[in-house]
Amino acid sequence: MNERLFNTPFEMGLRIIMLLSAAPKKTFSVDRIIALDFITSYASDFGLPFENLHGENNYRYSEIVGRRLLVQEAVKKLVIEGMLDVTVDRGYLFSISDEGKKYAKKLKSTYAIEYVQIAKEAIKKYKDNTDEGILATIQNHAVSAVRG
């Protein structure tokens, strides 16, 4: 029996539902989901007027590597469960389904409310950036953090 809760596809799935509920009419690639989730989790690092939801730690930028597999697994599960819709347009794009929207409305913890609020701001801030551009922004922040 797997008793872990954090850093699991289940936890990532909840965050994906919250992230996509913040922009219910938009579609997102896996890369964009990874990037926006990371930026939402560490908002203050990216100039958003919020504290980092996941706190301050010296290893936060190493988390981005492990998120890819978690996001891929979570997205697959969420599509199968009917929480996400998928479309194909130069790759797979995901959006929250009606079922996912209903589920997202049930997430009422302080963390969930703050996450969605921050996600809305992150989505707005990076709306004109490509997926690669957002990931490059995260990489540049990581390099700056290492250099001090």
Confidence class for position 12, pLDDT limits 50, 70, 90 = very high
87 beta partners: 93
Question: 16-46: per-residue pLDDT in tens?
Answer: 999 999 999 999 999 999 999 999 999 999 9
Number of domains in the chain: 1
Question: 67-120: per-residue pLDDT in tens?
Answer: 899 999 999 999 999 999 999 988 999 999 999 999 999 999 999 999 999 999
Q: Alpha-carbon distance 147 to 143, whole Å?
A: 6
Instruction: State the residue range of the domain holding 51.
Output: 9-147
84 beta partners: 96
Q: Alpha-carbon distance 123 to 128, whole Å?
A: 9
4: in domain: no
137: in domain: yes
94: in domain: yes
With beta carbons less than 8 A apart as the criterion, state whether 123 and 96 touch: no
59: in domain: yes
109: in domain: yes
122: in domain: yes
3: in domain: no
118: in domain: yes
The pLDDT assigned to 1 comes to: 43
With beta carbons less than 8 A apart as the criterion, state whether 61 and 141 touch: yes
Q: The whole model's pTM is what? A: 0.93
